[in-house]
Amino acid sequence: FVEVLAAAQRWYETSEGAFHPAAGALRQRWLVARDSGAEPSPEELSELAATTRELPFRVSRGAVERVADCGSVDLNAIAKGYIVDRAAAVAGAVRRVTSVMVNAGGDLRHRGPGGVTVGVEDPARPYDNAPPRWRVRVCDGGLATSGSARRGFRVGGRWLGHVLDPRTGWPVEHTTSVTVLAQDAMTADALATVLGVLEPEEAIAFAASRGIGCMVVDAAGDVLTSPDWPD
């Protein structure tokens, strides 16, 4: 648990708040909006985002210090990747097992020689029987995809994606899908959220500066890739 909190803190700092592991209050407010059919006002969201801006915990040298109410801590954007990594590590430690793949609904980890080819869904055709639009090879690394086509909610007849910008409180509308190829699933998981919050061009620059492969599909359907995304 401490390892996940430490990683969440690092990504919060590195992304300058685009990744926020304690923005659960914002998500709860949008669930209320979904049920009532009325969006919160810009003033309310701005105030709520401001009150949740700082982390309520601090991790240092393997110890966690609580500095505020931690009731809004939400690790969904990183914990699944960590679990996938741990499952792959345990499976890979079994005698005579040389290659392992663990896939948990969009978060994938491959360990060992060789690799696996993974299909990436077209966000414009989010159907169970639709063939993947892209394919990418994962070799001893992690892959994560985050998108709004399947995951989201409807408020007053308007479909909104599940990714929220914790800096403003509003659902992201400029990006429909982000796929990240990284050294492990936890990194890919966190980055899929970070890059989905950032504007597409900013996301590509962020990934490129860190040697991360990513593919971003914007709201217009245009596809952007970082230099480290495989051809």
Q: Where are the domains of the chain?
A: 2-225
Name the CA dihedral angle for 149, 153, 159, 160, rounded to a multiple of 10 degrees.
-80
Taking the complete model, does pTM exceed 0.85, yes or no?
Answer: yes
Q: What whole-number distance in Å separates Cα of residue 71 and Cα of residue 88?
A: 30
CA 84 – CA 101 distance, rounded (Å): 9
Residue 57 has pLDDT above 90, yes or no: no
Q: What is the pLDDT of residues 134-175, one digit of tens each?
A: 999 999 999 999 987 778 888 988 888 889 999 999 999 999
Is the CATH number of domain 2-225 3.10.50.40? Answer: no
The rounded percent of the chain whose pLDDT value lies above 70 is 100
At 62-108, the pLDDT tens digits run: 888 787 877 787 788 899 999 999 999 999 899 888 899 999 988 99
pLDDT at 128 over 90: no
- How far apart CA 119 and CA 90 sit, in angstroms, is 25
